[in-house]
Amino acid sequence: MIDLYRAIANDAGFQLQFLALVSGGLPGALAAHKIDTFVSVSSLANKALMAISEPIFADSEVLIANKSDTTPYKTYADLKGQVVGSRTGSIYEDDMKKDGLEVRSYVTGPELYKAVNAGEVKVAINTRYIPTAHALLQGQYPNVQIVKSYQAKFLDVLGIATSKNRRPLLEKIDTSLAKLKANGAVRSIFARYGIADALTK
């Protein structure tokens, strides 16, 4: 998104300054005019509080598997009968347990990848597709693959949020986004990180 922000700024003539903030503090920072934009889930609740650009990408839980396992998993039903790795305390962990799956918990993403890579568990569900795809692109877990056939249950569509009173800013962002989508720049940026298939249409 930093690369995409830079492309938008170049097209629209903005000056950029990035601030490092805790994720949960972003809406408050926007309301207090400490920041002008941030990347937000485009939900009805968020749209009631702020203005959000046209959708850019979608993110969801992701099923990963050891490359020795070529099963085209689609739903939880296909995972029954084996131990499934999960992130400790995630909503996905609770959801799988409620569905009767046997779950083994791992605190961090790298621990989860290592378990699948080593064959400690054959399959696992991680919290987010995009950081997972980016981590696997680095080549540290050569035996791990994303299972493309899996049908995500928890899907979030994201865009760039601004304050409701900053409509002119949002219009410039949307205009540049449309141009950058049409000329392939957005796809090129996301492809650089191995996540072009997360883009919305």
Which pLDDT band, with edges at 50, 70 and 90, does 137 fall under?
confident
SS3 134: helix
Confidence of residue 201 (pLDDT cuts 50, 70, 90): confident
Task: Quote the DSSP letter at residue 63.
Answer: E
- Segment 170-181 mean pLDDT: 97
The reported pLDDT for the residue numbered 50 is: 94
Three-class SS state of 199: strand
Mapped onto helix, strand or coil, the DSSP state of residue 146 is strand
Average pLDDT of the chain to the nearest whole number: 93
Query: Which of 105, 124, 146 corresponds to the end of one domain?
Result: 146
Name the residue among 192, 201, 177, 184 with its Cα closest to residue 134: 192
pLDDT at 131: 86
Q: Is residue 83 part of a domain?
A: yes
Per residue in 9-63, pLDDT (tens digit) is 999 999 999 999 887 889 999 999 999 999 999 989 899 999 999 999 999 999 9
pLDDT for residue 115 = 97
Burial 137-152 (b: 16+ CB within 10 A, else e): eeeebeebbbbeebee
Any domain includes 68: yes
The confidence score (pLDDT) of residue 102 equals 96
User: Could you tell me if 126 and 84 lie in one domain?
Assistant: yes
Same domain, 11 and 51: yes
Please give the Cα distance from 70 to 152 (Å, whole number).
Answer: 18
| Tokens of residue 2, six digits | 């930093």
Beta-sheet pairing, 51-52 with 144-146: unpaired
The answer to whether residues 134 and 77 belong to one domain is: yes
CATH code assigned at 116: 3.40.190.10
Share of the chain above pLDDT 70, in %: 100
- Is 132 within a domain? yes
Q: How many domains does the chain have?
A: 2
Report, as an integer, the average pLDDT of 57-74.
95
The position carrying tokens 């621990």 is: 111
- 69 shares its domain with 117: yes
Same domain, 14 and 29: yes
Residue 24 is assigned to a structural domain of this protein: yes
Helix, strand, coil percentages (3-state) for the chain, rounded to 5, are: 40, 20, 40
Range of the domain at 25: 2-58+156-198
Give the residue-averaged pLDDT of 182-188.
97
User: Each residue of 101-135: pLDDT tens digit?
Assistant: 999 999 999 999 999 999 999 999 998 888 898 88
DSSP 37-50: -EEEE--HHHHHHS
Q: Within a 13 Å sphere around the CA of 154, how many CA atoms are in the beta-carbon half? A: 17
The predicted pLDDT at position 36 comes to: 95
How confident is the model over 167-191, as a mean pLDDT?
96
Q: What is the dihedral of CA 70, 72, 61, 36, to 10 degrees?
A: 90
What is the per-residue pLDDT for 23? Answer: 76
Q: Are 87 and 127 in contact (CB under 8 A)?
A: yes
pLDDT in tens, 138-160: 899 999 999 999 999 998 999 99
Instruction: Please give the model's pTM, rounded to 2 decimal places.
Output: 0.79
What gap in Å lies between CA 121 and CA 104, rounded to an integer? 8
